[in-house]
Each structure stands twice: as structure tokens, then as C-alpha cells.
A and B are shown apart, each in its own frame.
Chain A
Amino acid sequence: MLAAVVLLGACGGSGSSGGSGGGGSIVLGANGGSYDQCQQSTFIPAFKKATGMDVKYGSFAYDLGAWKAQQESGAVEWDVAVVDASEFDALRRAGWLEPLGVSTKGMLDFPGVSVDNYGIASEIFSQVVTYRADKFGGDPPKTWADVFNTKKYPGKRMFHRNAADMGTLEMALLADGVAPKDLYPLDVNRALRKLDSIKNDIIWYDNGTKMVALIQQGEAVIGAGWDGRIKDLQAQTGGNVVGMSPEQAIARPDYWVIPKGAKNPEGARKFLRFITQPKQQAAFAKCTGYPPPWVAAFDHLPNKSSYAVTPDKLHNVIVWNSNYWKANRDAVTQRFNAWLGGS
């Protein structure tokens, strides 16, 4: 582990080929799991067919350390990548991004779907109330207050241990009765007090694989899940094993970005312009279960109501406040980690 960190710092990213060279190919940052599979089954083959360009996968882009190593060494691996809101913010502040030059006309009226021509939403990602339908199917939980109600819904509950990015504190405050409009700035003490009340019943996860495993194996019976991954799980297991409630979903966009120093930024722009077409967006959304950030894409989706965000119910969700987290990320994370570690 030590060596790995250090080597990353010393010669980061040199292990993978930059390889895009001319206009012939682009390198895509990997995200892993079903997300990459959906890209490969929808817009990537369509893009290849339409343009004759090749698309290759590089290493994982959801890793700020990898970005830092590539930018410091100048060996930039990716031409285009998807990152989450916090990472996008860090990258933009560090000046590690290229302008996109992609039109935002026709995007959902959702906060932060595009920012300064450096990031454009890839999908709307939501944390939703998730539960075992086989256990609570008769009177399913709907709100975060239900998730915190251990009497009515007994059993282990799952939350993401990255409080800054994954809305854990927001959920606690909503459960404690804070109105969505009064959520920010977060009352961290109150959120931790609320979490304290169920601390012994919480199982923490720090990646999507564990989240899915927890609810699938019944290790947790209720908690916070990711809408796309839960929908994927429902499709695999049939609707009566795992359920989710889009009410009080905590939503935020993820972003397409082009790294500064990318070898083929023009190819990346071409790629982005292609995949932001409504049909491509709809196909990808159908596969992942995450709502597309484009209004016209919904015209191609048969089962609109199953998405946490749609053009006609934009305001049922709670919008994750990127500005608040921009300012408070480190301090709140430290407090949360200290609370987590204490007994």
C-alpha cells in the first residue's frame, strides 16, 4: 500500500498508454461495473459506427489522486471522463480541465447541470430510500424519517460513509424534520445527534459493490441506495425483493469533463456532442436507470415515472448543494470521521 501510494506520486499514470495520437481514437476514464457496461452497450458502438473513431478505456477516473498524479507528471491518460460533483469542483479549482464547447441547449432545468463550459451533466445521480420489499412490502418506507425509524422498520440500515458526497447528513436532518429549503447550511451537530440514535444499527459502505451486496444479501434491510444500481438490482432479482422510494431523493449531477493536457481534446468534444443527442441519452438512461439531464431524451423513455427526476417533477427531489460542500467539505468530513471512529 505504501509503495503503491508513493509510486503513484512518483511516476503516476505512466503505466497506461496515452495512445490516442491522431484523430483516430479517444481514451475514456473508467467508472467500473454496470456503468461502463451500459456505455459499451449503448452510445460507444453507435459513436464508433457513426464516426469511425475508436474508443478505449483507461484507468479509473473516480480517483482524485490519479488526476493529481497525471497532471503533475504531464502524462495525461484520458481524453474524456465522468467525475462526481465534488471531484469536478476540485478539478475545476485546480485548473485541470479543458473547456468543453458543447451546447447546453435543451438540458433539464436542474441546478448545476452545466458549469462554466467545463462540466456538463452525464446523468442525475440520486440517493434514494431503499428497502427489502420482501420484508416491508406491505407498508413500505417512503421517507428518510422511515429509514431512521427502527421501531417500525427494525433491522440493520446502510449508509455511505463518505458523508460529504453521499448525503448521509442531509438524510439525518430530513429525518429529524428539517424542511428541504432549510437544509443548508447543514446543522452538523443535529445531524450527528440524529445518526447517534441509530448508530448501532448502521452498516457503512464505501462503494457501490458493497452497497448492492448488503441489500441483496439482506445484511441491511433498509437504508440509502443509488437509484441506478438499485434499479439494476430490481431488474436482476424481480421487483419484489428490493424496493426504493423516489420521495426525498437527494440528487445531483455527475459530469463529463475533458482533462487539461488531453491528447485528443477535439475527439473528446466530438464524442460529447454525439452522446448528448436525445436518442443516445435515452438508450444510456434505459440501461443505467439514472435520469438523463436532457429534456428531449425523456421522449424516448417509455417508463418515465420510474426515474427519480423527470422534466415534469423536477422539484420532488432535494438538490444536493455543491456550493455548501465546496466550502465545508474538509471540515465536515473530519468531524464526521471523528464521530464515526468514536464509540
Chain B
Amino acid sequence: MRRRVDWLPLLAGLPGCAVLLGLFLLPVGFLIARSVTDPKLGLSNYHTIITSPAYGHAAWTTLWLSGAAVLGCVLLGTPVAYALVRAGDHPVMRVVMAVLILSFLTSSLVRAYAWFLMLGTQGPVVAVTNALGLGKPQLLFNSFAVIVGMVHYLLPIYTLMLYGSLRSIRYELVTAAEGLGAKHAYALRTVFLPLARPGLVNGGSLVFVIALGFFVTPALLGGAQQTMLSQLIAQAVQQFGDFGAAAATGFLLLVASLALLAAVRRVLLPKSARYG
């Protein structure tokens, strides 16, 4: 007997899928086309980028700053998400949740500028270190400041996304592990953590991809050493009107980040599809 295909769900999903594909594939198509035709046909844009030390440096900076920001999010946001899942009714946690959601409403420029003032030579952090006799450290215009700004921007995104994923883990499994003789920490490590891993990897991947596109935060809080690829793309477009180079950079960034994500997920999510 022929298997009946249920067309209705497919039809229902069609418009949305078409829009999504259109919004992604079409621009990427334009991007690739532009990168090999502007200003002339060929791979000259790619050649220029690959041989340019400035682009190489920015690529490396982009990768490691984004990676560090993701690490910061994982270290800071994971316990917060866990606390939200386990004690979401507590008044403190309600406040935390409200802060997380509210910080979405603040623009990245305003948040970066807030850190500019916080970490500045006349800011409160330096005032404290100075009062403690630790001197006046240079906190701005270095990788530290950029990472702080990036983590601040990404943390709510990571935490809320992980919160959604952790909430679906049956906490009863941890209870069961403790009933089987495990200490709480051991039960968390051997049961909760492996089940949280897809959420951690997905959340980390998402904020990593967002981090790759940062340019307001490194421009304000970073120095010349913290130039990220997106700043070069913006420069190529705004200052030089060089769409070809911008497109080629954008396409390389896209390919590199997809490849990197695929690799990371392959390593961190073994057999992930096998339990749901």
C-alpha cells in the first residue's frame, strides 16, 4: 500500500520557509556574486583579503574575542540559568529574570558606553582599586574591556536560551541518582550536565555567531588590537564603498563560522540525536 503523505503541515510551513530561505539564500547569493564581480570578475577580493595582514589579524581577533565572550557567558550564565530553573519562584530570581529581559531593551551602543564610563580612569572600578591601594589599572581599550562588553550584551541571550532548554530536563532524574547513592554534585555532573549539554552547546553556538558580528562594542571599548572583522566590513562599505571586499569578507566569515560551528558541535554533541 502506498504511504499517504500528509500535505497540510507542509503547505502550512511553506510560506514561512520560503521567507526564511529568501531572506537567507538570496542575500548570500548576492553576497557571493558581488564578491567575485566587484570591481572586476575573479577572485581578486579574496586574494587581497587572504594576503592582508590586517584582515588576518582581525579574523584571529574576532575568533578569540568571540570565543572568550562565549566562555564568559557559559561560566556566568550557566549557574544563573540553573538557579532560574531550580528556584525561579524565589523573589531574587524574579528580579534576575526581569533584569535579563529588560537588558534586551537597551541598545548595544548604550550598554557599551555604560562600560566605557564604568571601566574608565574616572570610573567606579578604578576608584575602588585605587582606594584598595592597587593603583589605577588601564581597564579600557584592551581585550578585557571588549570581552566584558560582549559578555554583558550576550549574557541575557545565552542565559534565557539555556533556561528554556534546562527547564525541559526532568529534575526527577537527579533525585533518582541521589536515591541510587550519588552525592548531589556527582548526580549533577553525571546526570544533569550531560542532559544540559545540547542546551549549552546550542546557547554557546548562538552567542558565538552573534559575537562574530560585533562592531559597536569593540569600536568603543577596544583598542586597535581589538579590531574585529565586522569593523573592517563596515569600513570597506562606508569609507571605501568597496562592496566587493565587504562581500568577500562577509562570505569568508560566514563560511568560517559555519565550519567552526559544525566542528565544535561534532566534538561536543556526540550521538546527540540518540536521546531526546
Contact = CB atoms under 8 A, between A and B. Distances in A.
Our verdict on whether A and B bind, yes or no, reads yes
A161 B241 CA distance: 18
B187 interface: no
Given A3-B27, A341-B57, A217 B254 contact: no
A341 B224 contact: yes
A213 B123 CA distance: 13
A39 interface: no
A217 B116 contact: yes
A140 interface: no
Nearest to A3: B27
B120 interface: yes
B27 A6 contact: yes
Contact of A2 (B56, B117, B250): B250
Given A63-B237, A210-B220, A338-B54, A218 B121 contact: yes
Contacts of A207: 219
B250 A1 contact: yes
A2 B220 CA distance: 20
B153 interface: no
Contact of B121 (A6, A217, A330): A217
Nearest to A91: B241
B55 to A, nearest CB: 9
Contacts of A206: 219, 231
Interface string B203-247: 000000000010100011001110100110111011111010011
Contacts of B58: 341
Interface stretch (A64-72, A110-118, A175-183, A273-281): A64-72
Given A65-B243, A218-B121, A219-B121, A5 B54 contact: no
A65 B238 contact: yes
B219 A6 contact: no
A203 B237 contact: no
Contacts, number: 110
Contacts of B54: 334, 337-338, 340-341
B270 interface: no
A330 B234 CA distance: 16
Nearest to B138: A156
- Central interface residue in B30, B53, B241, by most chain A CB within 10 Å: B241
Contacts of A198: none
Contacts of A340: 54, 224, 227
Contact of B141 (A65, A66, A203): A203
A342 B53 contact: yes
Most chain B CB neighbours (cut-off 10 Å) among A2, A62, A67, A68:
A2
Nearest to B117: A217
Given A1-B233, A63-B238, 9 more contacts: A1-B230, A2-B250, A5-B243, A5-B247, A8-B237, A68-B243, A203-B140, A217-B122, A341-B225
Interface of A: 1-3, 5-10, 62-68, 86, 90, 161-162, 165, 202-204, 206-207, 210, 213, 217-219, 330, 334, 337-338, 340-343
